[in-house]
Amino acid sequence: MVMRKRKIIFTTGIRSDFYIQSPVMQAVQEHRNLECLVIITGAHLSKRFGNTVNEVEKNNYNIVAKINNLVLSDRLSSRVEGAAVQLRKIIKVFEKVKPDIVVAPFDREEAITVALAGVYMNIPVAHLGAGDKTRVNVDGIIRHSVSKLSHILFTSTRENAERIIKMGEEKWRVFNVGHAGLDRYRKTPHLTREEISSYLGLDINSKPLIVLIQHPVSNEINRSGKQISVTLSALDKLNYPTVIIYPNSDPGRNIMVSAIKEYNFKNEQIKRVKNIPELYFVNLMRYADVLVGNSSMGVLEAPMLKLPVVNVGMRQMDREHAENIIFVPHNESEIRGAVEKCLYDERFKERVNKSSNPYGKGLSGEKIANILSKIKIDDRLLNKQITY
């Protein structure tokens, strides 16, 4: 008797969540007892964000739906409006496809809509990235809400697993598997500096290379333009080759992009890009000397690369992290000073090289796929109990 493969649905709405989920998708696709199905939505389908749908499609996943729900606005309500559209259409997809398990990714709109649909439709929900602690942004609130709606909880550190259990989750539901985004640094082919320079049109061979990824913060939208301008001014005066990658699709993004486009750089070694395909992005980060901004990859992935990070502002504060990060406020002189410390302070550089990553070693995809294939789907899984 041939065993029916379990249908596992992934939903991806933005380049960052896809790059982190992709190793899990690949592991599920390659697993003999699982079938990988993908919903593409959000910023992936927008030309303004580089049509990153192409990055998803080239992997030959079974794409079961494309949902246009992106509301391009800096209004706080825009994400909720988009989520409402997304939820309504995800319900229809689940009704048609009848998945065995749905994967709620991290802490964005896709996570809450997938989890809501799954729990109401009696479909087991697996939450990736459960238990992370962050400050300021709405994402942290969404993350913990999604965990309470989920039946299977994948955490990226032991501390996060303990936090989830303290929230009243049953221990047998919690699996500490590490951060899935690290898998790609093990598997992505290596390119030379010359190949990266050619792709970017920027010489990265001679001087230190800086990469800037700075996103808006949900309760600081009105300050987004000023905040990115402070960072740009600091990097302009440092006068090193710098790659500026546009921010994500959260409210405040338009203000920040305008500031990036309009900034009159004196530094002629600045390259502004909407999006970078994964092959080039991973290799860019391998050659980077400092990551500046507030991207989660500074916390989650940079330690694996022994990459120093200058985290600007409150985003990522309170998150478990390695010794590779310097936290600074939105202050030009402090940003410049922190970058110089990352480049030239030998004691700090030694500390970075010796630091270990609490988020694992890049072996998460297969672990998650095996758990999804073996976990028993029954009333015990679906009927959650709080432990206190």
Q: Strand 125-130: give its sheet, edge to edge.
A: 62-67, 34-41, 6-12, 101-105, 125-130, 152-155, 174-176
| CA–centroid distance for 172 within its chain | 26
pTM of the model: 0.93
How many C-beta atoms lie closer than 10 Å to residue 138's C-beta? 17
Both tokens assigned to 372:
């999804």
Determine the Cα–Cα distance for residues 146 and 151; give it in Å rounded to an integer. 10
- 196 close to 189: Cβ distance less than 8 angstroms: no
Topology of domain 191-354 in CATH is: Rossmann fold (3.40.50)
pLDDT one-digit tens code per residue, 188-204: 999 999 999 999 999 99
* Fold matches, 6-178+363-382 and 191-354: yes
Determine the Cα–Cα distance for residues 14 and 110; give it in Å rounded to an integer. 9
Q: Does the pLDDT value for residue 254 go beyond 70?
A: yes
Q: Does the pLDDT value for residue 183 go beyond 70?
A: yes
Q: CA torsion sign, 264 to 265 to 268 to 270?
A: negative
The residue type at 25: M
pLDDT one-digit tens code per residue, 319-376: 999 999 999 999 999 999 999 999 999 999 999 999 999 999 989 999 999 999 999 9
Domain ranges of the chain: 6-178+363-382, 191-354
pLDDT one-digit tens code per residue, 270-306: 999 999 999 999 999 999 999 999 999 999 999 999 9
pLDDT one-digit tens code per residue, 70-90: 998 989 899 999 999 999 999
Say what the pLDDT of residue 136 is.
Answer: 64
The H or E element containing residue 210 is strand 210-213
Average pLDDT, rounded, for the chain:
96
CB contact set of 8 (below 8 Å; sequence gap of 6+): 28, 34, 35, 36, 37, 99, 100, 101, 102, 103, 372
Determine the Cα–Cα distance for residues 181 and 129; give it in Å rounded to an integer. 10
| Torsion angle defined by CA atoms of residues 285, 287, 290 and 293, in that order, rounded to the nearest 10 degrees | -20
Say what the pLDDT of residue 206 is.
Answer: 79
| Percentage above 70 pLDDT, the chain | 99
Say what the pLDDT of residue 137 is.
Answer: 76
Say what the pLDDT of residue 209 is.
Answer: 98
Domain 6-178+363-382 CATH class label: alpha beta
CB contact set of 39 (below 8 Å; sequence gap of 6+): 9, 10, 11, 12, 63, 64, 65, 66, 67, 90, 93
